[in-house]
Amino acid sequence: MKTKIIVILGPTAVGKTALGIKLAQKYKGEIISGDSQQVYRKLNIGTAKATAAEQAAAPHHLIDVRDINENYSAFDFVQEAAKAIQTIQDRGHLPIIVGGTGLYLQSLLEGYHLGGQVNHEAVLAYRKSLEELSDKELFDLLKDKNMTSDQLNRRRAVRSLELYRFSQGAKNQKRAYEVLLLGLNDDRQKLYERINARVDNMMLSGLLEEARMLYQHYPDAQATKGIGYKEFFPYFSGEMNLETAVAKVKQNSRRYAKRQLTWFKNRMKVDFYFLTDPDWQEKIFKTVERFIQKN
């Protein structure tokens, strides 16, 4: 029998963490973070990491599992999330993955193995270059690399080329999971307002000091590339004023939310629940109930 897991995904600031905790409390679940930045110790504010109170409300996994100067990749996530899923299942609990890093989630759920220290942005950039090709150019590229194009649509062709470039010889492995994808979304303007408000709250909570610590002690670490940190570096070096830096964090966060939604819609075929629907939570709980009860 396949292991049942629930995956809550969606753009930044949409409320994934809160929903995950509610489901974990109701259905004897444990949460696995599917976020590429929340793995880092000491980076709590800019990563929107679950607070101590939230982590006490439901067991959490893959949070604070790396030092700031260490790297973390989709390959690492797949290995460690699979172990966490098995541990949770062995306890008779429900694994609930909560996160917005599309590459990580897809890699785990579809056995989409990318090796080494491949990062999300590198794959996005390469994918964009492939998607700009015509059908003929795309399939000719497959042939040039001695890869079959039989019965491949554009989506599969792009995936095959990504694996060729980034997998370092790793083979896809389908995992025995029965997955319920729960997508959260909101009206675009309201989502952007939520993002802006969250950045303001982060500033009040000490985001600037967290970013300064990275700038002073870990300027070249992978963790510094996360949105909410790198935008302050020009401020610290005297090249930008603080107001402009904060505006840049908000702008990049909004753009990231748009990229997240594009990934989920095009790559993972998610049914979204909109926060503008007054019954969205009730609908989700009914869906989860049916999923859990299904043999």
Residue set of the binding site for substrate: 12-17
Helix (H) or strand (E) holding 245: helix 242-263
Per the CB < 8 A criterion, the answer to whether 16 and 10 are in contact is: yes
Helices (H), 91-206: 102-109, 120-131, 135-144, 154-166, 188-205
Which residue ranges make up the annotated binding site for ATP? Answer: 10-17
* Other Cβ atoms within 10 Å of 293 Cβ, number: 7
- 98 forms beta bridges with 8, 33
**Pairwise CA distance, residues 213 & 233, whole Å:** 11
How would you classify the pairing of strands 177-185 and 3-9?
Answer: parallel
Backbone angles phi, psi at 30, to 5 degrees: -130, 140
92: tokens are 């008779």
**Pairwise CA distance, residues 229 & 135, whole Å:** 39
289: tokens are 């109930």
**Pairwise CA distance, residues 132 & 144, whole Å:** 18
Which residue ranges make up the annotated binding site? Answer: 10-17
Coil, helix or strand at residue 185? strand
- 182 forms beta bridges with 8
